[in-house]
Amino acid sequence: MSPRILPLAVAAALGLAPAALPSVAGAVPASAAPSGGALPAALPGASESGPAATARRKPACKGTDQAVRSPVEIDRSAVCKRPVPALVLHYPRHVDGQLVFQDKAPVGGHPSEHDDIRFVIAGPRPHITFGGERYTLNNVHFHGHAEHRFAGERYAPVEAHLVHEKATGERGYVVLSVLLDASPRRSEHDRLLASPPPLGSAQQVRNIHLKDLLPKDRTTYRYTGSLTTPDETGDYFRPVNWVVFGEHAEASRASVHGFRSLWPEGEGNVRELQVNVPPPNISVS
Per-residue three-class SS string for 92-116: CCCEEEEEEEECCCCCCCCCCCCCE
Average pLDDT over residues 215-231: 96
Assess whether pLDDT exceeds 80 at residue 57.
no
Instruction: Identify the weakest region by mean pLDDT among 103-117, 147-161, 179-193.
Output: 103-117
Instruction: Between 9 and 239, name the one with better pLDDT.
Output: 239
Amino acid at 174: V
Q: What value does the mean pLDDT of the chain take? A: 85
Average pLDDT over residues 261-273: 93
Q: Taking the model in full, what pTM does it have?
A: 0.80
Indicate the pLDDT class of residue 219, thresholds 50, 70 and 90: very high
Indicate the pLDDT class of residue 201, thresholds 50, 70 and 90: very high
**Rounded Cα gap, residues 9 and 22, in angstroms:** 34
Assess whether pLDDT exceeds 50 at residue 17.
no
Assess whether pLDDT exceeds 90 at residue 37.
no
In degrees and rounded to multiples of 5, residue 27 shows phi and psi of -90, 160
Indicate the pLDDT class of residue 24, thresholds 50, 70 and 90: very low
Task: Please provide the distance, in angstroms rounded to a whole number, between the alpha carbons at the two ends of the chain.
Answer: 23
CB 212 within 8 A of CB 30: yes
Instruction: Identify the weakest region by mean pLDDT among 27-36, 59-68, 141-150.
Output: 27-36
| Residues 100-141 pLDDT 10s | 999 987 777 789 899 999 999 998 999 999 999 999 999 999
Give the per-residue pLDDT at 8.
38
Identity of the highest mean pLDDT range in 13-17, 59-63, 69-73: 69-73
Which CATH number is 37-284's, of 1.20.58.1610, 3.10.105.10, 3.40.30.10, 3.10.200.10? 3.10.200.10
Give the per-residue pLDDT at 232.
84
Instruction: Between 134 and 233, name the one with better pLDDT.
Output: 134
> Residues 6 or more apart from 153 whose CB is under 8 A from it?
none
Give the per-residue pLDDT at 38.
56
Average pLDDT over residues 10-21: 38
Average pLDDT over residues 247-261: 97
Kindly report the number of other CB atoms within 10 A of residue 103's CB atom. 23
CB 139 within 8 A of CB 149: no
Indicate the pLDDT class of residue 15, thresholds 50, 70 and 90: very low
* DSSP symbols for the chain: ---SPPPPTT-S--------------PPBPPP-SS-EEE-SS-TT--S-SHHHHHHTS-S--SB-S---S--EE-GGG-B-S----EEEE--S-EEEEEEEE-PSSPSSS--TT-EEEEEE-SSPPEEEETTEEEEEEEEEEESS-S-EETTSPPPSEEEEEEEEESSSS--EEEEEEEEEEESS--TTHHHHSSPPPTT-EEEEEEE-GGGGSBSS--EEEEEE--SS--TTS-----EEEEEESS-EEEEHHHHHHHHTTSPTT--S-PPPPP-SSPBP-EE-
Domain boundaries, the chain: 37-284
